């Protein structure tokens, strides 16, 4: 399921708290986005049409909740990125960030720890 950057901002709100009305989603996005209510409703409708969220009538309004799990979306997005840019391999991705000086000492320490854990599990 393809979700645009704008749609993912709406999904982030719903993954954090649900169910929410359109007005509540607008309020939650107010600090980070200057979207009008109509824009948020358009994004909600797109997400409904894609099957990423569901809507339940609550009096005169609808309450929205995710159907798509964040973990599933992140997995699909990360696999797609790896395939498109690095032939499905993680090592070239890490090498790219290393070459661009985007890895902090903390990142490197976390990667070392992760590699040690993976190595220990494979023994």
Query: pLDDT tens-digit profile of 8-39?
Result: 999 999 999 999 999 999 999 999 998 999 99
Domains, the chain: 5-66 (1.10.10.10), 70-122 (1.10.4040.10)
What does the CA dihedral 81, 85, 91, 97 come to, rounded to 10 degrees? -90
pLDDT on residue 122: 76
CA distance readout (Å), 22 to 58, 76, 96: 12, 27, 40
- Segments in 1-123 forming alpha helices (H): 5-16, 22-29, 37-50, 70-86, 90-99, 105-122
pTM over 0.85: no
pLDDT on residue 61: 95
CA distance readout (Å), 87 to 72, 91, 103, 118: 21, 10, 21, 22
**Cα(63)–Cα(58) distance, integer angstroms:** 7
pLDDT in tens, 42-54: 999 999 999 999 9
């Amino acid at each position: 399921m393809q979700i645009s950057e704008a749609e993912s901002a709406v999904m982030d709100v719903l993954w954090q708290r649900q169910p929410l009305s359109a007005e509540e989603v607008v309020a939650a996005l107010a600090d980070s986005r200057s979207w009008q209510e109509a824009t948020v409703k358009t994004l909600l409708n797109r997400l409904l049409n894609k099957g990423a969220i569901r809507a339940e009538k609550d009096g005169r309004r609808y309450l929205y909740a995710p159907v798509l799990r964040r973990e599933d979306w992140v997995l699909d997005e990360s696999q797609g990125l790896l395939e498109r840019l690095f032939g499905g391999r993680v090592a070239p991705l890490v090498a790219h960030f290393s070459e661009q000086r985007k890895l902090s000492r903390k990142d490197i320490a976390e990667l070392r720890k992760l590699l040690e854990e993976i190595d220990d599990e494979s023994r």
